Amino acid sequence: MNREGLVQQRRKQVGLMSFVRSECANLVNGHCIGMRLFSTKQFRKEGKCFLQDSKPCTYFEQYVLQNSKDRGCYHSVFNQYRKIKEIKMDLVRICRCGVELRPRHRFCDKCKKENRKKTKRENQRKFRRKELVCA
């Protein structure tokens, strides 16, 4: 299996509506109550969830989508939502193992150790070959 296949396997695959049902505070018994966060004002009339009708939802973009980063399923949820509304993806850099990278880092700590071991092994092999040829 190639590297991209492993990364896809390690990322959580979650359906958009199943994620919304579990994470959206406005979705109660399958109906959207349309309330803003920390407010008593409604951003829309109570009724069917916009996402069920394949329409974009501002509340989802501002609050619920951010939770998907913590849950580890951001790319899966974002790609499904992007089909509903054309939005640009936040540039979240991801290591080949699927972990979000810190600023100014190429690899996560786990992959960094693996790369060091691999490079050290390769360099030792090259060095030992040179010793055998010279001797």
For 105, the token pair is 């880092």
pLDDT recorded at residue 115:
95
Question: Can you read off the two tokens belonging to residue 104?
Answer: 């100014």
Q: With helix as H, strand as E and coil as C, how does the chain read?
A: CCHHHHHHHHCCCCCHHHHHHHHCCCEECCEECCECCCCCCECCCCEECHHHHCCCCHHHHHHHHHHHHHHCCHHHHHHHHHHHCCCCCCCCCECCCCCECCCCCCCCHHHHHHHHHHHHHHHHHHHHHHHHHHC
Angle at 77 between CA 72 and CA 82, to 5 degrees: 140
pTM for this predicted structure: 0.52
Instruction: Quote the pLDDT of residue 121.
Output: 95
Give the pLDDT score at 110. 92
Domain boundaries, the chain: 1-92, 93-135
Q: What is the pLDDT of residue 120?
A: 96
Which has the closest alpha carbon to 14: 62, 95, 70? 70
Share of the chain above pLDDT 70, in %: 79
pLDDT in tens, 54-112: 888 878 887 888 777 777 777 788 878 888 877 655 567 778 877 788 888 999 999 99
Listed range (5-14, 50-59, 77-86, 110-119) with the worst mean pLDDT: 5-14
- Please answer whether residues 63 and 38 qualify as being in contact, where contact means their C-beta atoms are separated by less than 8 angstroms: no
